[in-house]
Amino acid sequence: MSSVIDFTKTPVAEMYGSNSFSNAVMRERLPKNIYREIVAVQNGEKELTLEVAEVVAASMRDWAIAKGASHYTHWFHPLTGLTAEKHDSFIAPTGDGRVIMEFSGKELVKGEPDASSFPSGGLRATFEARGYTAWDVTSPAFLKQDPTGTTLCIPTAFISYYGHALDKKVPLLRAMDALNKQALRVLRAIGNETSTRVFTTVGPEQEYFLIDKNYYNQRPDLMLTGRTVFGVLPAKGQEMEDHYFGAIKERVAGFMRELNTELWKVGIAAKTQHNEVAPNQFEIAPVYATTTAAVDANQIVMETIRSVARRHGMEGLLHEKPFAGVNGSGKHNKWSMATDDGINLFEPGENPESNARFLLFTAAVIEAVDRYALLIRSSAASAANDHRLGANEAPPAIVSIFFGGPLTEIFDNIAEGKSSGKSKSGEKITLGVTSLPALPKDVSDRNRTSPFAFTGNKFEFRMVGSSQSIATPNTFLNVAVAQVLSEFAGKLEAARGDKNSAIQDIIKESYAKHRRVVFNGNGYTDEWVREAERRGLPNVKNAVDALSVLVHSETISLFEAHKVLSQEEMESRYHIYLEKYSKQINIEAGVTIELARRSIFPAATAYAGSLARDAAALAAIGAASASQEKRAKKIGDLLGELYDETAKLETVLSEAQGTEDAAAQAKSYFEKVRPAMDAVRLRVDALEKTVAKDFWPLPGYEEMLFKL
């Protein structure tokens, strides 16, 4: 069964959302009272009853079967960072040897995959298999189609028998509840009586590489680790700056057309696509969605990039740094806060009250990012992202906020008690509070070197790695902001008299303490590193150190206070992420040794032998052979060094593998194994520059980056 829709026969408006059991579909197919119940459940106003679930399940089943589905799956986000699914068929046998198509409310609401097969960090013993998936009503069910058939995918949360969160969705849902609670307290305290719910929205821009499938299949390092452990840049890389926003090649355009089709069918509003900076690097950006739906959508985007690329004879690479020396890939997490009655809390308004609200909520984010910088940094920590953060293509590992001159000037004036409304910007919107400066409409430029940039009516968290789930970064961010908002709410609720004066005092006090995190300059410079140190901002350069904040007592207290993660759940994640880091480096080191020993060494030795034979042949006829001898000697020297460095890598790898403590093991992989891998790579890359292409066993960067 082909899942490709012909644009010439199916208008986009007709095709869009055709494979999504969205609210629009439910509105059409469900009885009005049942639909109202589901919306109330989505808004957190009611709990889902089995009676309502039965009606929804019957409608969802009929819809899916009519579109060719034979199976359904509870689709969830285990702590692997990927997605998981266990397929069950709709068929139920009857007594006379026939089958009927069934799908009950119980089956919709709850599934039971094997919890012992997923990483739990000690939350589950190996012999304890029971785990439950629970329907997440905030994210629409969808159909996954491929040539083998159609499956109904039901987004779910994954919990243990005792209620522990075993996935990335449960903490996110809890964090959104926490933020909603505290944000509503602030809104009520400043006079808003109409908004009943506050939620966050996200628009994650996804970067990725494409390479020809034939080259991918010849690179064991790419297949097993997602990145090239060896490889040198060709004569031309990205220095001509001719790829970014350049004309899209026909083959890639065909891939993008089908990618858009697949995403539009499941209701993902993929809107922007373009060439990125590096050769064969691209980006796709969706329209904003509620964070839970955006998290699911981004996982679908990553899966779809891979599957569609393969249908076009290519491979989609989501690793943060698949090629050394060229730009890596990130995921720009554009995050905002909104109310159910249409207010963007990070957007200046048309009256004094809305502008005061804007400054108050923005100040809360400034304080949260400064106070919880280590936590936010940890949310983007991984072995893969270590290759990217801090390079001149990605934000530094220092967490800072970019606001631009006009908005920074306004906050500075507030902190310093200046009442003048003058600024260097253009048009102003008065706050109507004489002691607060005027607010410009265009409050920010963009700064691609900032890890956390304000871009008009949203914040763009640029540290997140391209292969990562955005669930954890948004969970941590929501919790950090919820904590600051809870403190703001307490002060506002206790305030007597003029609310504007109370708002001003809160903003002034908060920004004065936390303005150090605001930096509007070039984050790529060494000067900023020194300046950040002077300001006391942390600069955690590797994932192992970054993850340690997860088990700090202050972190655990924060998450427990907002009922997002318990101490046990937080400690389990710390150990899972450390183990994942160690396993990733362990695989990369094993691939490095295997390739060096079984591919590079024989190939370079064969070429050296060829040079020696050529030199002997030339000598026999009296021709000069000095160049061949020199090249053979150079290769021989490099082979000797490669042999020694590979042996050293084997030794430190064995030592790391034998370390039992998770933190000590991860530290050993970072401090000893990775440098040993780099030493092996140095020799292999030098050999690649010397050995003839006919002898080299791997496709090079030139082929992979420039041939599609």
3-state SS, 163-217, equals CCECECHHHHHHHHHHHHHHHHHHHHHCCCCCCCCEEEEEEEEEEEEEEEHHHHH
Q: Is the pLDDT assigned to residue 191 strictly greater than 80? A: yes
- One domain for residues 196 and 301: yes
Q: Is the pLDDT assigned to residue 32 strictly greater than 90? A: yes
Residue 188 has phi, psi (to 5 degrees) of -65, -40
> What per-residue confidence (pLDDT) applies to 423?
46
Distance, in Å, from the CA atom of 467 to the CA atom of 320, rounded to the nearest integer, reads 7
Supply the CATH number for residue 658's domain.
1.20.120.1560
The 10s digit of each residue's pLDDT in 635-657 is: 999 999 999 999 999 999 999 99
- One domain for residues 123 and 269: no
Rounded to an integer, the average pLDDT of 172-198 is: 96
Q: Please classify residue 33 by burial: count the beta carbons closer than 10 Å to its beta carbon, then call 0-12 exposed, 13-18 middle and 19+ buried.
A: exposed
Rounded to an integer, the average pLDDT of 608-625 is: 72
Q: Is the pLDDT assigned to residue 4 strictly greater than 70? A: no
- One domain for residues 352 and 473: yes
Cα torsion 45, 46, 47, 50: sign:
negative
- One domain for residues 146 and 190: no
29's tokens? 């197919």
Q: Which of 134, 167, 200 is the last residue of a domain?
A: 167
- One domain for residues 462 and 508: yes
The answer to the question of residue 698 being in a domain is yes
CA angle, 580 then 582 then 585, to 5°: 105
The 10s digit of each residue's pLDDT in 353-386 is: 678 899 999 999 999 999 999 999 999 999 999 9
The answer to the question of residue 303 being in a domain is yes
Q: Is the pLDDT assigned to residue 679 strictly greater than 50? A: yes
> What per-residue confidence (pLDDT) applies to 424?
47
630's tokens? 């020199």
Q: What percent of the chain has pLDDT over 70?
A: 85
Rounded to an integer, the average pLDDT of 553-568 is: 97
Supply the CATH number for residue 134's domain.
3.10.20.70
- One domain for residues 197 and 138: no
- One domain for residues 200 and 260: yes
> What per-residue confidence (pLDDT) applies to 122?
61
The answer to the question of residue 180 being in a domain is yes
- One domain for residues 160 and 193: no
> What per-residue confidence (pLDDT) applies to 91?
55
- One domain for residues 115 and 184: no
**Cβ atoms of residues 238 and 279 within 8 Å:** yes
> What stretch of H or E contains 230?
none
**Cβ atoms of residues 452 and 401 within 8 Å:** yes
The answer to the question of residue 535 being in a domain is yes
- One domain for residues 20 and 100: yes
Distance, in Å, from the CA atom of 444 to the CA atom of 447, rounded to the nearest integer, reads 9
The 10s digit of each residue's pLDDT in 102-132 is: 566 677 766 655 555 665 666 554 445 556 7
Provide the number of structural domains found in the chain.
3
**DSSP, residue by residue, 525-593:** SHHHHHHHHHHT--B--SHHHHHGGGGSHHHHHHHHHTTS--HHHHHHHHHHHHHHHHHHHHHHHHHHH
Distance, in Å, from the CA atom of 21 to the CA atom of 690, rounded to the nearest integer, reads 58
> What per-residue confidence (pLDDT) applies to 427?
42
Domain that holds residue 593: 578-706
Q: Is the pLDDT assigned to residue 74 strictly greater than 80? A: yes
> What per-residue confidence (pLDDT) applies to 535?
96
The 10s digit of each residue's pLDDT in 33-55 is: 999 999 999 888 888 888 888 88
> What per-residue confidence (pLDDT) applies to 573?
94
Higher local confidence (pLDDT), 66 or 162: 66
Rounded to an integer, the average pLDDT of 696-702 is: 95
The answer to the question of residue 7 being in a domain is no
**Cβ atoms of residues 83 and 76 within 8 Å:** yes
Q: What percent of the chain has pLDDT over 90?
A: 60
Predicted confidence band of residue 420 (pLDDT cuts 50, 70, 90): very low
Helix, strand, or coil (residue 338): strand
> What per-residue confidence (pLDDT) applies to 429?
39
The answer to the question of residue 5 being in a domain is no
What's the first-to-final CA gap in the chain, in angstroms? Answer: 27
Q: Angle, nearest 10°, between helix axes 499-514 and 471-494?
A: 130
> What per-residue confidence (pLDDT) applies to 476?
98
207's tokens? 């970067």
Rounded to an integer, the average pLDDT of 201-230 is: 96
Beta bridge partners of 114: 130
Closest by CA to 592, choosing from 262, 230, 61, is 230
The answer to the question of residue 441 being in a domain is yes
The 10s digit of each residue's pLDDT in 258-275 is: 999 999 999 998 877 778
Using CA atoms, how far residue 681 sits from 324, 569, 688, in Å, is: 11, 38, 10
Q: Which of 540, 565, 590 is the last residue of a domain?
A: 565
The 10s digit of each residue's pLDDT in 427-454 is: 443 444 444 444 554 555 556 678 999 9
Q: Is the pLDDT assigned to residue 331 strictly greater than 50? A: yes
Q: Is the pLDDT assigned to residue 390 strictly greater than 80? A: no
Rounded to an integer, the average pLDDT of 381-395 is: 84
The answer to the question of residue 571 being in a domain is no
Number of residues in the chain: 708
- One domain for residues 398 and 491: yes
Q: Which of 145, 167, 189 is the last residue of a domain?
A: 167
Q: Which residues contact 105 (CB under 8 A, 6 or more apart)?
A: 50, 51, 52, 53, 54, 55, 56, 57
Q: Is the pLDDT assigned to residue 405 strictly greater than 90? A: no
- One domain for residues 182 and 161: no
The 10s digit of each residue's pLDDT in 218-234 is: 999 999 999 999 999 98
